[in-house]
Each structure stands twice: as structure tokens, then as C-alpha cells.
Structure 1
Amino acid sequence: QRLAELDSYLKATGLNDYGLTDEDKKILAYKPIFQEFKIVDLFNVVNTHSILKSQVANLENGNVPYLTAAEGNNAVLKYINCPKEWIDEGNCVFIGGKTMVVTYQEKDFCSNDSHNLALYFKDSRYKSPLIQQYFVGSVRKALSKKYSWDDSISKAKIRSDSVNHK
């Protein structure tokens, strides 16, 4: 059926001078099977530290990302000279607790709000940047309609939430 739809589309757009190899047909015929997983079965969920803007005013010109729950720029407001005790470990899926902004954070970071969550894979096989970026989309899709500013996500609430994964 998918090959027939593709063939119809290519003919309708005048792009019917193509040839599919057996490997192309095999790839187009593949249908992944997805399962539902509880987030807490895949991830250790941690509340981030809470460092207010006023506290970082004198910590300019550093190299540690200062994250907020704002969309854009991968949630990075600026880079600061962050004290060790305020740093959260990177290589995680970051959730802006009140806004449901979901990003992948490769580097260690400082966060502006303890409502923000960091999700760390329990299984080290999944800790690659590409897999975590995939889960950014999965987590966002699974949870963005459920949570809002008025009903924000929390470490306690996420315990019952699930994502689909193959």
C-alpha cells in the first residue's frame, strides 16, 4: 500500500522516472512496532537546582549554560561562571517544568527552577546524543498536551506518565 501511494504521488508530480531497488522496497515496507514504556522505567528523574536570575547576575562570562524553561536557543538564557554545587549533570533530557519545553542537554548546566526536571537514562546503551534527541520528541509529544503552566509537570506526576518507543 505504501509503495502504491508513493508511486501515485510520483506520477502525479511528474517524478515517475525512478527505479526502486529491492533494498529500497524493503526499507519502505518496514513498519516499526512501538511499545508503551513508563518514563520512570527508562529514566532516573531528578529535580534540577534552583538558581535565580538575581543570583547569577555577578557570574557572567562563564562557559556553563544557564537554562530556563524558555523555548528557543535550547533553553539556554546565557553562559555563566557557575559554582560546582549548582551544576546539574548534562547528557540528559531536560524538561522546563512549568512550560513543558523539552530539550537535550549535552553539557553540564545550571537551571533557574527546581520545577525543571532532568531525565537520565538508566540503561547506558541509550545515552547517545541521537537517542536522547529522539526521546526529546517522544517526551514532548507524549506530555505537552497533558501539562501546562496551570498544571505543571513534577517529579511526582511524571511517575505515571508513559512514552511510545520501539
Structure 2
Amino acid sequence: MEGLLDRNWGTFKNNELFEKLPLKRLKKTFDKKNDISTERTKEYNLPLINAKAGNNGIMYYGRECDWESEELTLDVVNDGAISTGMVYAQPQRTGTLYNAYQIRLKDRIPTYRQLLFLQRCLQTNIQLKFDYYNKATWDDKVENETIDLPLKTSSDLNNYSKFDIDWQFMEEFIKELEAERIQELKAERIQELEAYLIATNLNNYHLTDEEQVLLDYKPKFKSFKLASTYVMRGKLIEVDEKGLFDIVPTKKKINANSITFDGRLPYVARGESKNGIRGYINFDEQYLNPKDTISFGQDTATMYYQPNAYFTGDKIQVFKLNEAYGTLTENIALYIISSMKKSFANFVWGQQSFALDVISEIPVELPVDVHGNIDFEYMSQYIQAIKKVSIEDVVRYKEKIITATQNIVNE
């Protein structure tokens, strides 16, 4: 950043600028199970520092009455295989649990921005000098290390003191970083949103009048059996010619332990996230299952629309839309999956709950037109409208994050 490298810098011993705070536990006895919490609550509302990497060095919270505390300090971690030598800025009142300590400036109360600047400068100078076997304790160690800080432009570089430290520059430097972060958030929001809208044909995510009417419309529903056919022990079983899917077994059950996930084609398992995709592999493409189908985890009832051809592991069935109904699209699949989940939730399962002969008979409620046929056009348009509503919610959420960040900077 401009102005950082072309500044004059001075080197100071840590104990010249900082003092260690002897913060203690006030409660005579300590019961970890009952005296601290991993979550902040009304009772346990005091952050406690310890040997923690991440989360600003805080892993637990205690009662304010049980701990001495201080605010606007630097938290130095003195132990831990990963965390030794890490430094955190603690603007709020904070207590000390163990394997860390707090230091503060001797002669001034810094702003939070100045504290952030000090945090980075101190950690840069000490983190790599200490480790698990060489603790970053204050006495005779960290206190004797140095910190490099910017000096006022009028300072005599041959004879400067702590009074030459440019605190205003620290303030402005961090403020500029915060402004850049806000711009990054805005740019990130725009890029992510535009990419998603283009990919999903939702460039205009505001509801049209027709879509608003569609969301208010109450269609008629009719039950359809889940399966038209299914395959069991190599035999094709016919269920109902008007059933929704032809259920076929995966072309090959690929053991996840026998492959590496460093390829280009999706491997679908029974997980409940990432569209069921565990990773991407390279494998004989003759065993790919067809695209535009639904993968169904037979022992978990997890189901996902798969727009691309995919490999699978064990206990996955492939739901192909009955040819009489045309090609399965993403919107139609999402609508049907939602209806299937409702049907499964109301079904009384036995030990063989997800056996094909059981699930094939499950009735699925779907909207129909005036002729009693499945209204695929309504389903597709309805999901598209719901996507637009969801996108608006995401946009509002992103804007709230940006506004909150701006408010913090302004404060």
C-alpha cells in the first residue's frame, strides 16, 4: 500500500512501550465444566484468551465476576504447536485463561485501528522466533524483542524516541485498509452475483407481475406413484405406466477407498451437501450414469438433481424421468424432489424402509392442469420465481454485510 514502504521506521524494545498485565482469576476454585463456556451467553459473556489459533485467540467465555479483565490490549499466545507467538488485538474487555497473556501500551490508550496496526507489527517480529519448545513468554524473552513502528516525517533518524511514533499514520493506514475491504466486498458481491445470475438465467431477479400472480396461484394436485419401473436383482419390475421415474441401479459401485479425488468427473455419494458430490475422479467413462437424473441415497433418502453425467458409490439408485414425461430439467427436478421429501416425511417406515419395492409405491403429490395431467410448465415457472425471491434475499444479506462493515469503519 502507498505510504507504507516509503515511511521512516524506528525500532523499539517491547518493554519500552508495553507492560504485561497480571490479570488473574478471581474465583478461588475453578471447574472447567461449570465455570466457562465455549459459547457466549448472558452469563458467560467475558472473552477469555488462551493458546488458540484463530477466532481472535478466544476459545472460551467466563463470568465477568470470576476474572480480572482489561480492554484495548494485545493478546500474546505463549504456547501451542501452531499458535505460539501469535498476537491478537482485543478491543473489548478480556480475561486471561491460560497459555497466553495481555500487554498494553504504557503511556497512551490506543484506538482500535492503532491496536490493529500494533498487532501486525508485533506478530511480524516475534512469531517466527518462538515455537512449542521455545515459549513466547514475556519475561526475558518477548519483552526484550523489538517492534518496528512508523515515525513522524519530521523525526531525526539519528536520535528518535517513542514520542516520534506516528500514531496518526497508523490510524489512517488501517482506515484505508478498511475502505479497500468495503470496496472488495462490493466487487465480490457484484462478481459472484453476476456469475450466478448468468449461469442460472436469472439476470433479472425481480419478479414480473405474471410471476407474482403465479406465486399466489393455488393449483390442483394429484397423486402419482414414485416409480414407473424399477430393477431388482437384474429383473425389470413394472409398477405404473404413469409413475414418475424409471429407477435403475448405478452402472458401477465404485469404492471411495479405491480412488483418488483429483479428477474432472463428479463422484456422487450419500452426503447431505454439495449436491451429494464427494469429489471429482477419473474413471472408465462407460460407467457414467446419465445426466438429467436424480441420485437417490437408498439408506439416507438424500436426493439431488444431477445435470452432468456422474459416477457413484454404493447404495445409490438413479431416477430417470419416465420417457412419457420428456426430459428432466433442473427446475422440474427441484419441484419434484421437494414433493418427494414431503411424501417420505409422512411415510411410516419399517426395517426395509428404503427398499425399492417400498419406495416405488409412494404417492407423490404434484400439480395438474385442467386435464389432470402433470403441469410441468407450472412447476418450472414456480421454481424459477422462487429462485428470484431467494436471490433477492441473498442480495439483501450481502448488502447488510457491506453496510455493517461501513458502520464499523465509521464508528
Is this a same-fold pair by TM over 0.5? yes
Change (3 A) 1:150 1:112: farther
User: Partner residue of 1:37?
Assistant: 224
User: Partner residue of 1:117?
Assistant: 317
- Choose the corresponding residue for 1:69, options 270, 278, 300: 270
CA–CA separation in structure 1 for the residues paired with 2:335 and 2:215: 20
Change (3 A) 1:23 1:160: closer
CA displacement, residues 84-123 of structure 1 (integer Å, 9 cap, x when unaligned): 233111211111111111111111111111x211111113
- Report deviation, 1:52: 0.8
Unmatched runs of 5 consecutive residues or more in structure 2: 1-208, 228-242, 368-411
CA–CA separation in structure 2 for the residues paired with 1:140 and 1:24: 25
CA–CA separation in structure 2 for the residues paired with 1:85 and 1:25: 45
Normalised TM-score (structure 1): 0.73
CA–CA separation in structure 2 for the residues paired with 1:71 and 1:82: 23
- Report deviation, 1:146: 3.7
Change (3 A) 1:149 1:64: farther
Change (3 A) 1:163 1:61: same
Contact 1:47 1:118 in 2 (8 A): yes
Unmatched runs of 5 consecutive residues or more in structure 1: 1-21
Normalised TM-score (structure 2): 0.32
Contact 2:249 2:316 in 1 (8 A): yes
Are 1:142 and 2:343 matched, yes or no?
A: yes
Root-mean-square deviation (CA), in Å? 2.7
Bigger radius of gyration, 1 or 2? Answer: 2
Are 1:50 and 2:253 matched, yes or no?
A: yes
- Report deviation, 1:138: 1.4
Change (3 A) 1:152 1:78: farther
Change (3 A) 1:108 1:149: farther
- Percent of residue pairs bearing the same amino acid type: 24
Of structures 1 and 2, the one scoring higher in RCO (CA 8 A, sep 6+) is 1
CA displacement, residues 18-61 of structure 1 (integer Å, 9 cap, x when unaligned): xxxx979965763211000001111111122311112223xx42
Contact 1:87 1:108 in 2 (8 A): yes
Aligned partner of residue 51 in structure 1, secondary structure:
coil
Change (3 A) 1:164 1:55: same
State the aligned residue count: 142
- Report deviation, 1:145: 5.3
Pick which of 35-44 and 23-32 moved more. 23-32
Aligned partner of residue 131 in structure 1, secondary structure:
helix
Q: What does residue range 1-166 of structure 1 map to in structure 2 within 5 Å?
A: 30-40=217-227, 41-48=243-250, 49-57=252-260, 60-113=261-314, 115-122=315-322, 123-144=324-345, 146=347, 151-166=352-367
Aligned partner of residue 156 in structure 1, secondary structure:
helix
Pick which of 84-93 and 26-35 moved more. 26-35
Change (3 A) 1:28 1:47: closer
